[in-house]
Structure 1
Amino acid sequence: MRDRQVARSTRRAREFEAFVAGAGGRLLHAATLLTAEAPDDNPRARRLLTLALAHTYARWDRLRGEDPYDCARQYLAGRFARATWHQYRVLGGARPDPRSPLAALAPQERLILVLRLYEGVAEQQTAALLGLPAERVHTLCDRATATLLHPARPAAPRAVGTKTAPS
């Protein structure tokens, strides 16, 4: 009996290690995009990843045919959504790193864009995961895409000493 438990625990640990080796990098990249941190300095993304992996490991034996990557991604997205709501509404929010490609986006736009475009999650699934109408997810994804493709240009500086013509 004891030998079976040890063997099962060892097998579980090996399976989970293989999962993390295969999916950890992609999940970390997704978390880094969500938090809009620099890829080389991403403590919030690493914390999100650690929490998602811990949650997935705790559910490992109960997954029963579910995709562990999907489980980890769902937890990562949900945790990010709850954390950003708390940070931005209560604490004033964390500033995105300007080196991040998604720094110009609001947290909800980043979340939807990462799920839809980077992770390839369907619009209906994204809406269900976030508790939003599919139309809202579509609108936010379009807005985020437009913001990234056509960033606002800074106003041109006025030349010093030039006069404007009277109207």
Structure 2
Amino acid sequence: MRDRHASHSARRAREFEAFVAGAAGRLLHAATLLTAEAPDANPRARRLLALSLAHTYAGWDRLHGEDPYDRARQYLATRFAREIWHRYGVLDRMRRRPGGTLGVLDPHERLILVLRLYEGVAEEQASALLGLPVDRIRTICDRATATLLHPPPAPPRPVAAKAKAATP
């Protein structure tokens, strides 16, 4: 009995290690896009990835033919959505935006854009995952895409900074 349990645990660990070897890079990239952090300085994205992989490992035996990548991506997205709701809520608009290309988008727009365009999740799946109507998913994705294609103008530099830059 003990040997059978040990061999099952070893097989489970090998399967999960193989999954992580193949999927962790892409999941980390998706998490980095969600958090709009720099790829070489992304502690929030790494935390999201670790939580997602831990959740996937905890339910590994209950997958029964489900795609583990899909399960990990779902947890990553819902965890990010809960985090932005609980951490920032309505005050998110007053926070300083992160840098990078996706930093001009609010977190909800980033989430939907990453799911739809980077991960290739269908509107219906994103709708079910996030609990939003399909039309709302489409509208947010279209708005985020338009914002990326036509970013808002950068705020003007302060006059004092211009004077210092002109000084030799």
Q: What is the 5 A alignment of 1:146-165?
A: 146-154=146-154
Size of the aligned set, in residue pairs, is: 157
Q: Which residue of 1 aligns with 2:107?
A: 107
Distance 1:116 1:148 in 2: 14
Give 2:64's aligned residue: 64
Q: Which runs of 5+ in 2 are unaligned?
A: 158-168
Q: Deviations over 1:34-77 (max 9, x none)?
A: 01111110000000000000000000000000000000000000
Cα distance, 1:25 vs. partner?
Answer: 0.2
Is the 1:35–1:96 contact (alpha carbons within 8 Å) kept by the matching residues of 2? no
Please state which structure has a larger fraction of its residues in helix. Answer: 2
Give the % identical residues.
72
Contact 1:34 1:107 (8 Å CA) reproduced: yes
RMSD of aligned Cα (Å): 1.9
Partner of 1:75: 75
Contact 2:30 2:118 in 1 (8 A): yes
Query: Computing the radius of gyration over CA atoms, which structure comes out larger, 1 or 2?
Result: 1
Name 2:15's counterpart in structure 1: 15
Aligned-residue offset at 1:153: 2.1
Name the CA distance, whole Å, in 2 between partners of 1:52 and 1:102. Answer: 22
**Alignment partner, residue 2 of structure 1:** 2
Paired amino acid for 1:144: A
Q: Is the Cα contact below 8 Å between 1:28 and 1:45 reproduced in 2?
A: yes
Structure 1: unaligned runs, 5 residues or longer? 158-167
How big is each residue's C-alpha offset from its partner over 1:131-154, in whole Å with a ceiling of 9 and x where there is no partner? 000000000000000000111223
| TM-score normalised according to structure 1 size | 0.88
